Amino acid sequence: MLERIQKANDIKELNYDEMEVLAGEIREFLIEKISRTGGHLASNLGVVELTMAMHKVFTLPQDRIIWDVGHQAYTHKLLTGRKEGFDGLRKYGGMSGFPKRAESECDAFDTGHSSTSISAGLGYVQARELRGEDYNVVSVIGDGSLTGGMAYEALNNAAPLKANFIIVLNDNHMSISENVGGMSKYLAKLRTADVYTGLKKGVTYALHQIPVAGDRIIEQIRKTKSSIKQLVVPGMFFEDMGITYLGPVKGHDIRMLCRAFEEAKKVEGPVLLHVLTKKGKGYKPAEREPAKFHGTGPFHIATGEAKAGSGKDTYTDVFSKVICDIGRKDHEVAVITAAMADGTGLAEFKKHYPARFFDVGIAEAHGVTFAAGLAAGGMKPVFAVYSSFLQRGYDQIIHDVALQKLPVVFAIDRAGLVGSDGETHQGVFDLSYMGSVPNMTVMSPKNRWELADMLRFAVGFNGPVALRYPRGEAYDGFEEYRAPVVYGKSEIIYEEEDIAILVVGHMFEEAVKVRRALKETGYNCSLINARFVKPVDTKMLEELAKNHKLFVTVEENVRCGGFGERVQGYVSEKRLPVSVLSLALPDDYIEHGSVEVLRREVLLDAASMTKQIIARYTML
């Protein structure tokens, strides 16, 4: 069947029996391809039938499907003529793992971060109405993504709409790990609505049989919060807002899904179609461990075991161990994650100290202010969060944390280039956005030992601290360089003259190679581990300026607002007699690919940096 799908809408030629065969083939295809390339397996296996039904009922690219997060859009890519792209999935120059308008006209909106789909869909709907156009708009949001505040802002805004807008709630009761919170509980109730409704109808009937008193009881219940109506009409939360609720629908039954979409199309106004799916459906290891197969590297299909892995600790592993140790000794330390307990390494803390572990859902902005509240209440909160997701909390960082000088530690994981997730996930802005906040201290470790030392320093510090470290294996070189962390002080690794490399965090490993290459070519070169990006160690700059002609700053962050600009600013302001070469990321978005390849592309690999330094030095 898959052979018959060459382009968008080809699926319309298949009957339901053929579609069922196709669903099986798609699953086989996805498992086979992702076992080689890695990718988001479990979520994609869960939406095979849902995607097929949408492609059967709607016509692309006229109709617009907006995928929340977009990590589950693989079947959509397959059905829109991108089968060949799967060999290069998430590789440099290859197909993205997320929807991209630049990749296909069938991708209506670029995503990667969660909870945006209803807002974007509503925007499309209003544009359609204003321009007098005629097409369907379907936003597909998962139950995990429905924990994000933006989704509610959008539902609130969509409720009074008079025109058709279809919101699909893909409910597999999982975020990356188990979903959390009140809405998740509510959805669990809706999931069993059939049984529940039947039961309540029975209760109502029985009450009616009681002469006089029965009717009174029903009336009473009607007035209370748990009214009969609430019990017999599933989806009341949505209905009461003015959003038509349809469902729950079995998400692996193609016929039923198609019927439900046909119904949804007829509704005048916003309609929420509640679809129940199973994460990892059709691949036993993923069904058993959906969190492990949410995003996976290459694996052996027969066992589900990972193919690669050096066995070395990642920076996340180091953070995980140290924060547990800190939490064991200091009972005022509490940790927060925004639905990334596994990814940030906080799952271990949860096991040992569940009362001081908080998963706030995919709600980074709330997570920041919640941390501020914890700090104001006397706790020492550590919010472990990916760099790109923390972008969501910028105002909260300023307004709720830094303005009040509250001691919140931001353990910023996935800082720098993250690789195959691409533009939306590269953690390349945090030095700029954190550095621009008054009262914020910004630091980054050169190796695993320094991450441990800095984390202890940060937790003991009386003010907000941003501690950033990257995805991947922790560098374990230079263990002997472990001078105590002192506020605002950098660390001299090699002291010479002429050229001084001042490096931020994990780029240290690359800078060591650069210095070696420079030495081999006959240059003198000092190497300074910046440690603090804010405040910059200006005393050190003054000292270095006495016998160096060139400062080279190295950081995996955009140049704009980064460490290099801070150093350059100080040098200009004080008229220090040195040139500054800032090696950083360009003012651009960086696509997917391995970190190694991407660094070469942006000239932040050791060889390219060495060349740039020599070129600049020779010009002096």
Ligand X SMILES: Cc1ncc(C[n+]2csc(CCOP(=O)(O)OP(=O)(O)O)c2C)c(N)n1
- Which chain residues interact with ligand X by CB under 6 A? 43, 46, 69, 71-72, 113-114, 142-145, 170, 172, 174-176, 279, 338-340, 362, 364, 389, 392
Site string for Mg ion, 126-165 (x = CB under 5 A): ----------------xxx---------------------
Which of 591, 294, 601, 592 is CA-nearest to residue 420? Answer: 592
Nearer to ligand DXP, 294 or 548 (CB): 294
Those residues with Cβ within 8 angstroms of residue 58's Cβ, 6 or more apart along the chain or in another chain: 65, 136, 138, 261
- The residue range among 45-53, 207-215, 232-240, 413-421 that interacts with ligand DXP, by the rule CB under 6 A, is 413-421
Nearer to ligand DXP, 31 or 340 (CB): 340
Phi, psi (rounded to 5 degrees) for 179: -70, 160
Give the pair of three-digit tokens for residue 584. 């950083």
From ligand X, ligand DXP, Mg ion, none, which one binds at residue 437 (CB under 5 to 8 Å depending on kind)? none
- The residue range among 186-194, 414-422, 441-449, 517-525 that interacts with ligand DXP, by the rule CB under 6 A, is 414-422
Nearer to ligand DXP, 74 or 563 (CB): 74
Out of 37, 51, 172, 369, the residue judged to bind Mg ion by CB under 5 A = 172
Query: How far apart are CB 38 and ligand DXP at their closest, in Å?
Result: 9
Nearer to ligand DXP, 121 or 295 (CB): 295
Q: Residue 377 in contact with residue 330, Cβ under 8 Å?
A: no
Nearer to ligand DXP, 27 or 292 (CB): 292
From ligand DXP, ligand X, Mg ion, none, which one binds at residue 414 (CB under 5 to 8 Å depending on kind)? ligand DXP
Residues involved in catalysis:
279, 364, 392
Dist CA 344 CA 296 (whole Å): 15
Q: Which amino acid is at 71?
A: H
Peptide bond before residue 61 is cis, with ω within 30 degrees of 0: yes
From ligand X, ligand DXP, Mg ion, none, which one binds at residue 446 (CB under 5 to 8 Å depending on kind)? none
Query: How far apart are CB 178 and Mg ion at their closest, in Å?
Result: 10
Which of 141, 140, 194, 142 is CA-nearest to residue 173? Answer: 142
Q: Residue 497 in contact with residue 596, Cβ under 8 Å?
A: no
Nearer to ligand DXP, 82 or 90 (CB): 90
Dist CA 260 CA 239 (whole Å): 17
Which of 551, 525, 560, 547 is CA-nearest to residue 616? Answer: 551
Out of 414, 468, 515, 548, the residue judged to bind ligand DXP by CB under 6 A = 414
Q: Residue 254 in contact with residue 282, Cβ under 8 Å?
A: no
Q: Residue 504 in contact with residue 530, Cβ under 8 Å?
A: yes
Asked if 69 is part of the footprint of ligand DXP (rule: CB under 6 A), the reply reads yes
Asked if 280 is part of the footprint of Mg ion (rule: CB under 5 A), the reply reads no
Asked if 100 is part of the footprint of ligand DXP (rule: CB under 6 A), the reply reads no
Peptide bond before residue 535 is cis, with ω within 30 degrees of 0: yes
Dist CA 593 CA 424 (whole Å): 13
Query: How far apart are CB 33 and ligand DXP at their closest, in Å?
Result: 17
241 burial type by CB count under 10 A (0-12 exposed, 13-18 middle, 19+ buried): middle
Nearer to ligand DXP, 40 or 380 (CB): 40
Q: Are strands 525-529 and 491-494 parallel, antiparallel or unpaired?
A: antiparallel
From ligand X, ligand DXP, Mg ion, none, which one binds at residue 27 (CB under 5 to 8 Å depending on kind)? none
Query: How far apart are CB 472 and ligand DXP at their closest, in Å?
Result: 9
Give the pair of three-digit tokens for residue 294. 């949410």
| Tokens 């000088």 sit on residue | 405
Out of 128, 292, 471, 506, the residue judged to bind ligand DXP by CB under 6 A = 471
Annotated binding-site residues for Mg(2+) read 143, 172
Strand partners, 580: 551
HEC letters along 392-451: HHHHHHHHHHHCCCCCCEEEEECCECCCCCCCCCCECCHHHHHHCCCCCEEECCCCHHHH
From Mg ion, ligand X, ligand DXP, none, which one binds at residue 421 (CB under 5 to 8 Å depending on kind)? ligand DXP
Query: How far apart are CB 543 and Mg ion at their closest, in Å?
Result: 54
Give the pair of three-digit tokens for residue 551. 């400062």
Asked if 46 is part of the footprint of ligand DXP (rule: CB under 6 A), the reply reads no
Query: How far apart are CB 249 and ligand X at their closest, in Å?
Result: 16
Asked if 77 is part of the footprint of ligand DXP (rule: CB under 6 A), the reply reads no
Annotated binding-site residues read 71, 112-114, 143-145, 172, 283, 364
Asked if 174 is part of the footprint of Mg ion (rule: CB under 5 A), the reply reads yes
Query: How far apart are CB 299 and ligand X at their closest, in Å?
Result: 18
Query: How far apart are CB 87 and ligand DXP at their closest, in Å?
Result: 20
Nearer to ligand X, 107 or 510 (CB): 107
Asked if 390 is part of the footprint of ligand DXP (rule: CB under 6 A), the reply reads no
HEC letters along 193-251: HHHHHHHHHHHHHHHHHCCCHHHHHHHHHHHCCCCHHHHHCCCHHHHHHCCEEEEEEEC
Asked if 107 is part of the footprint of Mg ion (rule: CB under 5 A), the reply reads no
Asked if 71 is part of the footprint of ligand DXP (rule: CB under 6 A), the reply reads yes
From ligand X, ligand DXP, Mg ion, none, which one binds at residue 145 (CB under 5 to 8 Å depending on kind)? ligand X
Q: List, as one string, the DSSP characters of 552-586.
A: EEEEEEESTTSHHHHHHHHHHHTT-S-EEEEEEE-
Strand partners, 492: 528
Dist CA 129 CA 392 (whole Å): 30
Query: How far apart are CB 362 and ligand X at their closest, in Å?
Result: 5
From ligand DXP, Mg ion, ligand X, none, which one binds at residue 418 (CB under 5 to 8 Å depending on kind)? ligand DXP
Out of 270, 295, 304, 464, the residue judged to bind ligand DXP by CB under 6 A = 295
Nearer to ligand DXP, 71 or 82 (CB): 71
The count of C-alpha atoms lying within 13 angstroms of the C-alpha of 182, restricted to the half-sphere facing its C-beta, is 1
Eight-class DSSP state of 313: P
Asked if 343 is part of the footprint of ligand DXP (rule: CB under 6 A), the reply reads yes
Nearer to ligand DXP, 308 or 619 (CB): 308
Which of 19, 111, 121, 113 is CA-nearest to residue 65? Answer: 121
- The residue range among 169-177, 296-304, 455-463, 496-504 that interacts with Mg ion, by the rule CB under 5 A, is 169-177
Give the DSSP H or E segment for 612: helix 606-619
Query: How far apart are CB 339 and ligand X at their closest, in Å?
Result: 4
**Rg from Cα positions in the chain:** 27
619 burial type by CB count under 10 A (0-12 exposed, 13-18 middle, 19+ buried): exposed
Binding site for ligand DXP (CB under 6 A): 40, 69, 71, 294-295, 343, 414, 418, 421, 471
Binding site for Mg ion (CB under 5 A): 142-144, 172, 174
